Structure 1
Amino acid sequence: MKEITSIQNTYIKNLIKLQEKSRERKKQGLFIIEGKREISLAISARYQFDTILYYPDLISEQEILHLFNANVNRIEVSKEVYQKLAYRDSTEGVIAVTKVKDFSLENIKFKNKEPLILIAESIEKPGNVGAILRTADAANVDAVFIADAKSDLYNSNIIRSSVGCIFTNQIAVANSEEIISFLQKNNINIYATTLQNSNEYHKENYTNATAIVVGTEATGLSEIWRTKATQNINIPMQGKIDSMNVSVAAAIVIFEAKRQRDFKI
């Protein structure tokens, strides 16, 4: 087992690059997970770990061994090093350097004959992406598709705001054209949340294979989704504004679909 006490260490400097730069994560095929809960979820999702760093004043080596296979590479770090790497204010003393997974559409496998999919197009704010992943986990959807991604899913903000739900959902990342082709090939109905040529969301039937598509609050869904949808849907606004947070909108429609499926409407 190694020990690192200096933030000037070459390896530590590289980890900081991994945290801060998407291109480094893609180039090296690695990303950072912080916290016991998130790491435990990644373990359950069969992620592979490159190295575990821990600060012994906050977590013991025995706890590390309880979490991970004894053969995993472990590095004990000083308080200064850990604080440099730790992303969260509330901290648990453990950071995992983890191997990325392939988010290709080709890897998607549905357990249900009538899958329910949540699709998010061009969502820029990592916090919104994380909240959408939390919604998807809460509803136990069959998959989440990220269309025309604006944020790297291994961004620390997304991992944190999703409270680890990036590891609990089946996820694919592709452009809108590829995702629409996949949906059409698999006979999955597309319901696009948009004001244009739309029907109120609760008047549609989501008990068949269904994809719910949400877009940004500022610009909404792009034309390709509005024109290729089986049906455009809207959430009636009763106040003075005409939109709501994208993760909230996703939750409203997704849980209506779940309600229908539970009661087999």
Structure 2
Amino acid sequence: MKHIESESNASLKQWKKLHTKKEREKSGTYLIEGPHLIEEAIKSGAKLQHVIIEEHFELNESWLKEKFALWSVPSKLMKQLSETEKPQGIIAVCEMMDQNENLIKKNGRYLLIDGVQDPGNLGTIIRTADSAGLDGVFLGEGTADLYNGKTVRSTQGSLFHLPIVKADLLEIVQQCKEMNITVLSTSLQEAVDMRKAPEVEGFALIVGNEGAGVQEALQQESTMKVKIPIFGSAESLNVSVATGILLYELQRNRT
């Protein structure tokens, strides 16, 4: 284990740069924080390059079998590296996952995310997709960065459990239709009450931007437009809440 004391340490400076999207994309790495996320990364086979622990942090001994460089830092440097108010004492530098768009298969279940800008919403949606047993998630243009620290934390490790791919959603929709997968788009206009939608085997659900919803081009290419009924006075639901309701309704129809 190597120890870092100085703020001017080159490795520390490099890791702090990973707080920016530009450096994450340049290096192909990102930060994950906390024992739970690191354990999920290891169990899922994600490659960790470095693990940085705060002095006196008790490391899980089974992790020492992994091939990563181990560092220790004082609490003042851990606070600089952490993006949370209360650091959990351990941070890792993780390699980004391979992007593979060739996921579409017969009767597959997919989520297409169109321009969801809030990292917390994105992370929660990914966690929900994982819980609902989906086969893959596609991130369209304008969607928050998957490797933003808030996104990563909000997934609670689910980003390691299922394929997540940046893609042209119009192309993904066409691939789904070629495989006879029903494409459902959320909409408030000319949409079917989700409870009355016909049962489908494979599906691709498109959810959209917090304010504007799913872009018109994607709605037009979808097989069906669906909505969740509102019984109170609220104009709409949070996109992550709506996604959860829709995915579980779709899964209920399959059982």
Whether these two folds match at TM > 0.5 is: yes
Secondary structure of the residue aligned to 1:180 is: helix
1:83 to 79, 84, 92: 79
Q: Of residues 133, 136, 143 in structure 2, which corresponds to 1:143?
A: 136
Alignment check: 8 A CA contact 1:149 1:174 kept = no
Q: Secondary structure at the match of 1:166?
A: helix
Partner Cα distance (1:182, 1:151) in 2: 23
Q: Given the two structures, how large is their TM-score scaled by the length of structure 2?
A: 0.93
Deviations 1:182-204 (A, max 9, x none): 22232211010101221111111
Counterpart in the other structure of 2:239: 246
Pick one of 203, 207, 214 that aligns with 1:210: 203
Contact 1:30 1:98 in 2 (8 A): yes
**Match of 2:22, as an amino acid?**
R
Please report how far the alpha carbon of residue 73 of structure 1 lies from its aligned counterpart in structure 2 after TM superposition: 1.2
Alignment match, 1:4: 4
1:71-96 CA-partner distances (Å, limit 9, x unpaired): 42111212221121122334432111
Structure 1 counterpart of 2:55: 56
1:102-113 aligned at under 5 Å gives the runs: 102-106=98-102, 108=103, 113=106
CA distance in 2, matches of 1:27, 1:195: 39
Equivalent position SS for 2:138: strand
Deviates more, 1:171-180 or 1:248-257: 171-180
1:1-265 → structure 2 map (5 Å cutoff): 1-19=1-19, 21-60=20-59, 63=60, 65-106=61-102, 108=103, 113-262=106-255
Q: Structure 1 residues 70 and 169, CA, compared in 2 at 3 Å: closer, same or farther?
A: closer
Q: Does the aligned pair in 2 maintain the 1:7–1:84 contact within 8 Å?
A: no
The alpha-carbon distance between structure 1 residues 70 and 204, as it changes in their structure 2 partners (threshold 3 A), is closer
Deviation, structure 1 residue 123: 0.4
Distance 1:124 1:252 in 2: 20
Q: What stretches of structure 1 of length at least 5 have no aligned partner?
A: none
Partners of 2:58 and 2:6 lie apart in 1 by: 19
Q: Deviations over 1:155-191 (max 9, x none)?
A: 1010111212211222121122222222223221101
Whether the 8 Å CA contact 2:184–2:225 is kept in 1: the answer is yes
| Matched residues, number | 255
Cα deviation, 1:84-132, whole Å, max 9, x if unaligned, reads 11223344321111111123313x265xx42221221100000110110
SS at the partner of 1:84? helix
Unpaired runs of 5+ residues, structure 2, are none
Letter in 1 for 2:6: S
Deviation readout 1:123-162 (Å, 9 max, x if unpaired): 0000110110121122121211112143210110101112
Query: Contact 1:149/1:173 (CA < 8 Å) preserved in 2?
Result: no
TM-score by structure 1 length? 0.90
Letter in 2 for 1:197: E
Q: CA RMSD in A?
A: 1.7
Instruction: Describe the SS at the equivalent of 1:127.
Output: helix
Equivalent residues of 1:55, 1:77 under 8 A apart = yes
Please tell me whether the aligned partners of residues 59 and 92 of structure 1 are also in contact (alpha carbons under 8 angstroms).
Answer: no
